[in-house]
Amino acid sequence: MQHFIDWLKKPVRDSIFLYWELLKVMVPIMVIVRLGVEFGLIDHISLMFTPFMDVVGLPPEAGIIWTTAMLVNIYAGMVTLVALLPEAPMSVAQITVLGSMILIAHSLPIEQRIVQKAGPSLIATTLLRIVGALVYGAILNLIYQGFQVLQENATIDWLPSTAVDAGWLQWTQDSAISLFSIFWVILVLILALKILEALKVTDFISKGLAPVLGLMGISKHAIPVTMIGVMLGLGYGGALIIREAKEGKMSSQDIFLSLSFMCLFHSMIEDTLLIFALGADLSGILIGRFIFSFIILFFMGLLVKKMPKQAFDRLLFKQT
């Protein structure tokens, strides 16, 4: 029993630390969104996103959620979604489309700076993530609409249901419950990752995916580092690639392809579980996203291998 308590202490401490850091971001965002709804600003801001959201079959308000996730992080996007869901109810299919787009393009100021420091073009990789998210969102929407699947209304069962016309007191109470619930989601997520790590599940997944990376043109030397980014996140993988690049252990083509794949598909377990908790379906946020990322990188690999080095360095890679 004591061994279990000792094992539990670190995930709990990590959860509390992460939660406290997130609260500093989430609370102001919730208040700003509430004020935006109260004074009708959301309706006006949403108009800017209408053309883009129409392409992926989402309400205009979804553009605000996605933009928040892109500029801040997934948790900020999640809080914005919770705040706007009463204003713009969505189906499970729409939550899956939006969640998939968030998983591809989020935390851009931080993550893209890491990518840039490793060498790949900031503009090229940022466009890859934003345009890739929109294209994948459009494809996913066509599939779900065409086959009429996941069309039922999305509900987040672990959060209170706040009416659109709820007063400030009710909103404050529901928001406090939501923030409290998010802590437990974080704790469960961190515990799940620890359990998967203890059971060597992440190692098993890495070994299974490694041969697939080779088909994208990523060399054997770059595969282990790429898998770290795929499993743990772009920050971890990018930092290792920066080190490898400085030591001259990876070619510029490997660095570019490796980070491009991570841009589209990283933090495979943690981020995916977080979006899954919001009601998204795994068919889009995990299976379809991996297939889409593989297809994109397969053709990018063919293109990069055929590009003259001068053109590659000028358009896609800046020597660090």
Residues 238-274 pLDDT 10s = 888 888 777 777 889 999 999 999 999 998 988 999 9
How confident is the model at residue 297, as a pLDDT? 94
How confident is the model at residue 2, as a pLDDT? 64
How confident is the model at residue 55, as a pLDDT? 96
Highest mean pLDDT among 67-76, 177-186, 206-215, 222-231: 67-76
pTM here is 0.90
Query: Which has the higher per-residue pLDDT, 166 or 100?
Result: 100
Mean pLDDT of 173-195: 83
pLDDT class of 1 with cuts at 50, 70, 90:
low
> Average pLDDT over the chain, rounded to whole?
87
Query: Which has the higher per-residue pLDDT, 5 or 192?
Result: 192
What is the residue range of 83's domain?
2-315
pLDDT above 60: residue 205:
yes
Question: 220 with 209: CB under 8 angstroms?
Answer: no
pLDDT above 70: residue 153:
yes
How confident is the model at residue 319, as a pLDDT? 64
Q: How many domains does the chain have?
A: 1
Mean pLDDT of 206-219: 81
In a domain, 156, yes or no: yes
In a domain, 296, yes or no: yes
pLDDT above 90: residue 282:
yes
Burial of 309 (0-12, 13-18, 19+ CB in 10 A): exposed
CA nearest 225: which of 263, 248, 258, 264?
258
Mean pLDDT of 101-111: 95
In a domain, 320, yes or no: no
Comparing 28-42, 84-98, 289-303, the range with the smallest average pLDDT is 28-42
pLDDT above 90: residue 34:
no
In a domain, 198, yes or no: yes
Contacts of 35 by beta carbon, 8 Å cutoff, 6+ apart: 41
How confident is the model at residue 270, as a pLDDT? 87
In a domain, 262, yes or no: yes
